[in-house]
Structure 1
Amino acid sequence: MNAFKIIGIYIMLYMANALWKVFYNIYLAEIGLTGAEIGTLNSIIQALIFIAVVIWGRYADRKGIRPTLRIGLLVTGVLMLILSFVADFWCLVVFLPVFAFFYHPLGALTDAMAMQYATVEKKYSYGSFRLWGSLGWAVAATVGGYLFTSLSLKLTFYIAAITYMLIVPLLSTRKKVRTYKANFKLVGLRDVISNKPLFYFMGILIFYGMVCSPMFYYLNLYFSELHASNTIIGLAYAIMALSEIPLFLLGNKLLKKIGVRPILLMAMGSIVIRYAVLGYYPHVGVALAVGLLQGVSFAFFLVAAVSIIEKLMPQGQHATAQSLIWGSYIGIGQTLGNLLIGFVLDSAGMVEVMQFSVYGGLACVIVSIIYLNRFRFERA
């Protein structure tokens, strides 16, 4: 495994993710699902992350990250093809947990592999690898937006499935190289509760996950409510992804200069600004422009969260640290957020959801300031 292969994996993985995730809510609305049903399905997808990451993380400890990723990618590709034929709500309720079980570990294990490589090859960092995922997402969202304005959204499943499967050759090598282990440790509830800084920070991750849910999962429906085309929706997600690229690198540099506190608070503050603009100035052009803050909202948050979690965990437990971030932020936080938004959508529109989210974001900033005042973290 070398840096170029890891970069290629990130590009293709996030291209595949974008091809179906950017347009999935719109597809569900097109086939007649209600807001509550869409929210329920999104929450089901996110809820499986804890179980999936635990089981596949421990499997990767025994077999290695690359063999585990090969299995996940191949099965995810096959299940993606099947997903294109599942249109009934209750059938999706049964099928999506199976799909999510294989899909969820792909990102966490790729992150763990990149972090291990960066630990040995000092000229690389997690951010320098992850930014290529943002580039892949941007390309797929832009091209997909143009294609799926005139073509059936069902094609998103077929193209994504093929892309997942094409990643597998990048995980193969004929040379004898070191084995990448997930080094996953099962963290019990008692371990988390006894570690007060970790316990409280996981609470913040859950809260921020709930706050981010409208932005990360329902922005496509927001643009649809403003009568934007799929081309515009794809462009919106591309702008957001491209804004992440320089800030993954900048985030790591700023982390060393100013520390984790301002990085985390800038991330949370930026999402409050975005919600205020989207909620109180609902215009397609304005919404596209404010998407440039995505790099601050997500890249800075992820850089800060990884730094804090790694300081609170024993050295070397990269996969465990990643699983705690994704398990709290996505597995619990965004599951609850999706459920809440789904039921709200049946009585209010996305503009009102964005307005309400301003106050949730402000509360999250306040709670984080209190936490960072109590627990001090040295500069990276």
Structure 2
Amino acid sequence: MKWRIKLLSFFYLASIGIILPFLPLLFQSRGLTNGQIGMLMAIGPLVSMLVQSPWGYLSDRLRTVKKVVMFQIMMAFLLSFLLFSLDSFYLLLPAAFLFFAFAWPPLPLIDCLTLAIAREKGGSFGSYRLWGSLGFAVTALVAGSVLAVVGIERVDRIYQGLLLLALLFAALAQDAPQAAQPVGFDQLKKLVTRKEVLLFLLLIALLNTTNKVNDAFMGIFMRGIGGSEADVGLAWTIGPLSEVPVFAFSFLFLVRFNELTLLALAAAIYSLRWFLFSITTDPALVTAIQVMHGLSFGLFYVSAVSYIGKIVPQHLRASGQGLLSTFSGGVAGIMGSLLGGYIMDGFGARFLYTSCSILALVSVVAFLVLSQSQARKTAQVGDSP
């Protein structure tokens, strides 16, 4: 059973390894401006913000994660034919809305499946999740080289093939065991309005906005300093590959440090990474700096998933992961794509990455303050009679 969920993660993240690096380049090749590309890429996070929590709630309500994931992947496959056939910005807007409503939401539910299987079969969450990073990295590398030869217009065939493989392994994967306690909408509402949960999610969105800026515009940034599709693919490969050792040994970090401290460390690494991008004019240096992605994103991801798993009830686990994705992908993605596009057009890449570096520094302080606050609360509970 372990290899099935690992291969599901591998092929689903491989499909994302096509969309994130190369969809902006496809839009650019069809004559869209950076602002228009930013708006289209912001639709994914916007839709994610709107539908991610309902998808998680539906999964908890129906008491099945696997079948919901299969339905999402199947619909993303069908709607991709519409998305890739259009070149008009105004037609792409509704098509992208429909497509992203199904293409983006599977990840937190796959994480939910992974957490359940890791608990049942043994092993850390990171030891499973690293297969997704490998899928993303291998695809970005191979696709970058292939597309440099055959042209960016062929990106649709690669994406659709990967989705079919993801659907196959979703069908073979074991479903997550469901709690006997029924889930009602009032429980989800109480979860969202808990101060501890809401503050954490807002800080996650703040930090991940900087990462979403890079997701949307690193390819265009590299093109602007002389990079090719192959250079973009290599940069996107190095980043996820650097996640693998972090995910593999993430349990060592989580045993020694609390999640909020690790998030502060991730934010500090992000800040340095974006600053280095802001002063770089060589595509090869961008690729080298991408090695920092492993510690920045890897620590961010495992710490966020672990922390949200601790502060939400077990029977709301899919809803909790959905909320995390809503803020880290939806809210952050909208801010990153929309603001990033207009800042890129108006002030250039250097100003954009400098702004991201400053925002990440603010996140360092915020997570450290929250960590100290949680430590004081824990100490007070321990001292109470």
Fold shared by both chains (TM-score > 0.5): yes
Partner SS state of residue 82, structure 2: helix
Deviation at 1:12, TM superposition (A): 0.9
Give 1:116's aligned residue: 116
Could you state the TM-score of these two structures normalised by the residue count of structure 1? 0.92
Partner SS state of residue 366, structure 2: helix
Give 1:291's aligned residue: 290
Superposition pairs of residues 294-333 of structure 1, within 5 angstroms: 294-333=293-332
% same residue = 22
Q: How many angstroms apart in 1 are the aligned matches of 2:178 and 2:349?
A: 43
Q: How many angstroms apart in 1 are the aligned matches of 2:109 and 2:188?
A: 20
Q: Deviations over 1:28-80 (max 9, x none)?
A: 11111112111111111111113322333333331622222222112111111
Output the amino acid matched with 1:52: V
Superposition pairs of residues 90-169 of structure 1, within 5 angstroms: 90-121=90-121, 123-169=122-168
Output the amino acid matched with 2:275: A
Asked if the contact 2:129/2:247 (under 8 Å) is kept, the reply is: yes
Output the amino acid matched with 2:267: M
Deviation at 1:81, TM superposition (A): 2.0
Give 1:64's aligned residue: 64
Asked if the contact 1:52/1:104 (under 8 Å) is kept, the reply is: no
Superposition pairs of residues 1-380 of structure 1, within 5 angstroms: 2-61=1-60, 62=62, 64-121=64-121, 123-173=122-172, 180-181=177-178, 186=185, 188=188, 191-193=191-193, 195-376=194-375
Q: Deviations over 1:274-331 (max 9, x none)?
A: 1111102332222111111111111100111122212221134321221121111111
Asked if the contact 1:18/1:137 (under 8 Å) is kept, the reply is: yes
Q: How many angstroms apart in 2 are the aligned matches of 1:310 and 1:338?
A: 28
Q: How many angstroms apart in 1 are the aligned matches of 2:133 and 2:73?
A: 19
Asked if the contact 1:222/1:351 (under 8 Å) is kept, the reply is: no
Gaps of 5+ in 2: 379-385
Output the amino acid matched with 2:312: M
Deviation at 1:243, TM superposition (A): 0.2
In terms of fraction of residues, the more helix-rich structure is: 2
Deviation at 1:247, TM superposition (A): 0.1
Output the amino acid matched with 1:8: L
Deviation at 1:104, TM superposition (A): 2.0
Q: More deviation in 237-246 or 24-33?
A: 24-33
Deviation at 1:217, TM superposition (A): 2.1
Asked if the contact 2:266/2:300 (under 8 Å) is kept, the reply is: yes
Partner SS state of residue 346, structure 2: coil
Asked if the contact 2:18/2:139 (under 8 Å) is kept, the reply is: yes
Cα distance change on mapping 1:107 and 1:263 into 2, 3 Å: same
Cα distance change on mapping 1:109 and 1:164 into 2, 3 Å: same
Partner SS state of residue 346, structure 1: helix
Q: How many angstroms apart in 1 are the aligned matches of 2:20 and 2:326?
A: 19
Asked if the contact 1:12/1:164 (under 8 Å) is kept, the reply is: yes
Deviation at 1:189, TM superposition (A): 5.3
Asked if the contact 1:60/1:181 (under 8 Å) is kept, the reply is: no
Q: How many angstroms apart in 1 are the aligned matches of 2:273 and 2:331?
A: 23
Deviation at 1:180, TM superposition (A): 4.4
Q: How many angstroms apart in 2 are the aligned matches of 1:74 and 1:97?
A: 16
Output the amino acid matched with 1:91: L
Q: How many angstroms apart in 1 are the aligned matches of 2:6 and 2:150?
A: 30
Asked if the contact 1:66/1:171 (under 8 Å) is kept, the reply is: yes
Q: How many angstroms apart in 2 are the aligned matches of 1:70 and 1:303?
A: 24
Partner SS state of residue 228, structure 1: coil
Corresponding pairs, count: 373
Asked if the contact 2:240/2:293 (under 8 Å) is kept, the reply is: yes
Q: How many angstroms apart in 2 are the aligned matches of 1:327 and 1:77?
A: 22
Deviation at 1:352, TM superposition (A): 2.3
Gaps of 5+ in 1: none
Give 2:382's aligned residue: none
Q: How many angstroms apart in 2 are the aligned matches of 1:255 and 1:179?
A: 24
Asked if the contact 1:66/1:180 (under 8 Å) is kept, the reply is: no
Cα RMSD of the aligned pairs, angstroms, is: 2.1
Cα distance change on mapping 1:201 and 1:318 into 2, 3 Å: same
Partner SS state of residue 87, structure 1: coil
Deviation at 1:114, TM superposition (A): 0.8
Asked if the contact 1:184/1:320 (under 8 Å) is kept, the reply is: no
Q: Deviations over 1:78-99 (max 9, x none)?
A: 1112211111111111111111
Asked if the contact 1:148/1:230 (under 8 Å) is kept, the reply is: yes
Asked if the contact 1:45/1:100 (under 8 Å) is kept, the reply is: yes
Could you state the TM-score of these two structures normalised by the residue count of structure 2? 0.91
Asked if the contact 2:42/2:334 (under 8 Å) is kept, the reply is: yes
Output the amino acid matched with 1:78: L
Q: Deviations over 1:332-355 (max 9, x none)?
A: 122122111111122122222112
Q: How many angstroms apart in 2 are the aligned matches of 1:173 and 1:148?
A: 31
